[in-house]
Amino acid sequence: MSLNKMIIDTLNPLGVPVAFQTYEGKEKTYITFFEYNQFSALNADDEEQQTSHFFQIDIWSKTDYTDLAQQVKERMIAAGFRRTSEVDLFEQETKTYHKAIRFSYVD
């Protein structure tokens, strides 16, 4: 299974649209994500045995996203991801609240 599909399947039950990189719909609350880094986590006999993947999950909303962010963290951790950082942002041009949560995953 691809990690993109895994993330979508993990977050879809939250009831908001989930999209890879961009969202084109009309909902006021949605989630996008992308992989921002990838590297070898374990090598043996000159071959990569495990790969570290780093993803950013972005929550976009016109209203308070606190509960949704908590659910995202819980679901991602239950799926085997490790949270590495998060930040609250506000997009002035669109008046949209933005929560960026970063996770790592080793496969």
pLDDT band at 60 (very low <50, low <70, confident <90, very high): very high
Domain ranges across the chain: 3-106
H or E stretch at 3: helix 3-11
- Tell me, letter by letter, the H, E, C secondary structure of 10-62: HHHHHCCCEEECCCCCCCCCEEEEEEEEEEEEEEECCEEEEEEEEEEEEEEEC
pLDDT at 42 over 70: no
Task: Tell if the pTM clears 0.75, that is, is over it.
Answer: yes
pLDDT value for 50: 76
Q: Does domain 3-106 match CATH 1.10.287.3240?
A: no
> Quick check: 67 pLDDT over 70?
yes
Question: What is the pLDDT averaged over residues 34-56?
Answer: 82
> By percentage, how much of the chain surpasses pLDDT 70?
95
pLDDT score for 43: 66
Does the pLDDT value for residue 21 go beyond 70?
A: yes
Confidence band of 65 (pLDDT split at 50, 70, 90) = very high
What's the rounded mean pLDDT across residues 58-85?
A: 98
